[in-house]
Structure 1
Amino acid sequence: MTVLTALLVYFGWQRNDVMTDRLGIEESILGQSTRDYLLRSVRPALVLLLVIAAGGLIWLQLDRVLAPRIRERGAADRVVRYSLRLLTWAWVLLPLVVFVFGTVSGAFVFTGGQEFAFIAWPLSIGAGALLTYYGMHLRGTVAPDKEPLLRIFVAITVVVMLFWGTSNYATLQGRTLADRLIGNMRGQNEVTVYSSKRLFLTGAGVAEAELPGKNNAYSYRYSGLRLLAHAGGRYFLVSDQWAPGKGAVMVLREKDSALRMEFSRS
C-alpha cells in the first residue's frame, strides 16, 4: 500500500509538471495537495495496475505448469530446458524485445508502438529481473546465505523500474492533456468575472466594462475569458486567443468575496 500510494502521488505530480511546463506555467502555482494528486491519478493509473496484475496472473499460470513438470521430469526435459534458458536470460530478452518493437514502430511511423515501448521499457527490466530470480529458484542455484540480499536487490530493481515506468506514463498523459487544452481552448468554459473593483485583466479578446450605477455590488465586468484550470482554491483563467508563450495566465481566488464568476459553454 505504501508503494502504491507513493506511485499514485508521483504519477499525479509528474503528469501535472509535464502538462504545466507544456502550457508555459510553473507546476507549483497550481498549489495542489497530496489528496489532489491521489484523486486525479486513480483513473489513469488503473491501466498500469491492470497490466501489472495481468502479468502476475500469467506468471501464476506458468508456475502451475512448469514447477510440477520440473519435479516430475527434471532438467533433461526439452520444454523445461528451454524454459529455464529463457528465464535465465529474461532480464536481457524482455527489454531487448521492447526496444526492437519500439525501433520497428518508429521506422514505420507507428506512434502508438513508440509510446508503448516508452512505457514498457523500464517495466520490462523489472519484469525480467523477477523472471530471472524465479528461474534461479527453479534451478535451485540460490545459496541460502545469499537469499536475503538477492531479494533486497531484486525488490529495489522492481520498485525503481515501477517508478520509472510510472514517470514515462505520466509524461505521456501530461503531454496529451496539455495538447488537448491547447487544441481545444474554445471548448473550455467561458468565464465572466464581476468585481467590485477594477482588476486590470488584459489579454487578446478580453473585454472590460464598467457597470452603471453607484450602489452596485459589482462595478466591473470582464468577458472573453476561458477556464484553464481550477486547483488549490484558485481559478486559472486565460483569454480567448491565449496560447503558450502568447498571453498571461490570470489567477483569481475562489473565496474572494469581491468577485463573482459565471461559467458557461458556447
Structure 2
Amino acid sequence: MVEEPGRLERLVEAGKAVIPPLTLLSALLFYFGYVSARSQYEYFGVDVDTIGLGTQDYIMRSPQPLLTPLLVFAAAAAGSIAVHAAIRRRIHPGASARTVARMRRMGRAGQVAGPAVLAGGLLLLSGYPLLRDWRLYGLVTPLLIALGGTLYGSGAAIGRLLRPPPAPSGRASTTLVYLVVAVSAFWMTATVAQWSGRGLAMDRANRLGRLPSVILNTRESLFLRSPGVLETKLPASEGQTFHYRYRNLRLLIHGKDRMFLVPDRWSASNATIIVPLDGSVRVQFQFQNQPP
C-alpha cells in the first residue's frame, strides 16, 4: 500500500514546480557572490551597488567564496552516508540483542544531545542584540543549530531503523529538523562568503602594485589627500582642456560607466576615486615595468 504524502511533502513538491532548481541555483550563486563582493569593496569604502555589476558578474564571483563550504559540506555528507550505511549493516534481522541495544543507546544519545546543542544555538540567537559584535557570532550560532539538528536527526534515523516507520507527523517533524539544518548551513555559508570577500580585499590592499597603473588627467584639481598620489599642474597651452595630472593610481575595478581608482600604496588615509567615463577626464594605462 502506497502511503499518501503529508502536507509538508506536498508543499515541497509545489515549491519545486513554482521555483525550478536551476533558477534556485542561480539565485543562490548570485546571493553569495553579492555578499562576497559587497564585503570586498566595502573595505575600500565603496558601496558595491554603485559599481554597476550585473547578475552574471556576481554569479561568476560566487565560486571562490563557495569553494570551502562546498568541500566541507560534501565531506560531511559523505561521512554521514558512510556512517548511516555502517549502522544499517549492523542492524539486520539476525543482529544480536547486544548490538541492537548499543544502536538504541546511540539513537537515544543523539536525540538527547541534539536538542541540548540546538538549545545552545537558539540561546545565542536570542542574545543577538548583545552578541552581534562578536566576530564569530555568524559562524558559531548557525553551527550549533545545524549540529544540534543533525545529531537529533541522526538519532531519530537510528530509532526508525529499530522500529516500524513513523507516523506522518513524525516524518513532518524530521523534515522540519532538516529544514533548520539547511537554513543554518545557508547562514554559515553567507558568513564564510562575507569573510572571503574581506580576505580578498585585504590581500588586494597588500598587493596594490599588481593592479593596472593609471595616469589620470583632469580639468580641475581634485584636491586629493591620499599619501603617495602625485599631482602635477600641466603647462598651459592653446586648446588644452586638461590642466592637472595624477600619478601613482591603480585601477581597483571598472564599472558600467565609471572607474574606481585607489593609490598604489595602502594607507588608512587613502580614499577611492570615482572617475566617470564621460569625457571629463583622460585616462592612460601604463605598461608594467618589466622588459620583455
Task: Pick closer, same or farther for the CA change 1:57–1:241 going to 2, 3 Å.
Answer: closer
RMSD: 3.9
Aligned CA distance change for structure 1 residues 35 and 124 (closer, same or farther; 3 Å): farther
Matched, 1:206 2:230: yes
- Quick one: structure 1 residues 135 and 252, their matched pair in 2 at CA, closer, same or farther if it must change by over 3 Å? farther
Q: Residue in 2 aligned with 1:69?
A: 90
Aligned match of 1:173 in 190, 196, 206? 196
1:96-245 equivalent positions in 2, closer than 5 A: 120-121=143-144, 123-125=146-148, 127-140=150-163, 143-147=166-170, 149-194=172-217, 197-198=219-220, 200=222, 202-204=224-226, 205-210=229-234, 214=238, 221-240=245-264, 243-244=267-268
Q: TM-score, normalised by structure 2?
A: 0.67
The structure-2 alpha-carbon separation of the partners of 1:227 and 1:119, relative to structure 1 and needing over 3 Å to count, comes to farther
- Compute the displacement of 1:8 (Å): 2.4
Of 116-125 and 69-78, deviating more is 116-125
- In 1, the alpha carbon distance for the partners of 2:38 and 2:113 equals 34
TM-score (norm 1): 0.72
> Do 1:193 and 1:222's aligned partners in 2 also have CA atoms closer than 8 Å?
yes
- Assess if the C-alpha contact under 8 Å between 2:114 and 2:148 holds in 1: yes
| Aligned length in residues | 250
Q: Tell me which structure has the larger Cα radius of gyration.
A: 2
Structure 1 residues 178 and 161, CA gap change in structure 2 (3 angstroms): same
In structure 2, the CA distance between the partners of 1:168 and 1:75, relative to structure 1 (3 Å rule), is farther
Shift of 1:116: 8.2
Aligned counterparts of 1:173 and 1:124: Cα–Cα separation in 2: 23
Partners of 1:230 and 1:199 lie apart in 2 by 22
Per-residue displacement from partner, 1:25-46 (whole Å, max 9, x unpaired)? 3232223222222111113312
Identity of aligned residues (%): 23
The structural deviation recorded for 1:12 is 1.8
Contact 1:87/1:132 (8 A) holds in 2: yes
SS class of match (2:222): coil
The residue number in structure 1 matching 2:65 is 44
* Structure 2: unaligned runs, 5 residues or longer: 1-20, 122-135
**Following TM superposition, by how much is the alpha carbon of 1:61 offset from its aligned partner in structure 2, in angstroms?**
1.6
For 1:115-167, what per-residue CA distance to the aligned partner results, in whole angstroms no more than 9, with x for missing partners? 98688545534543542443343244763221453254124312311221112
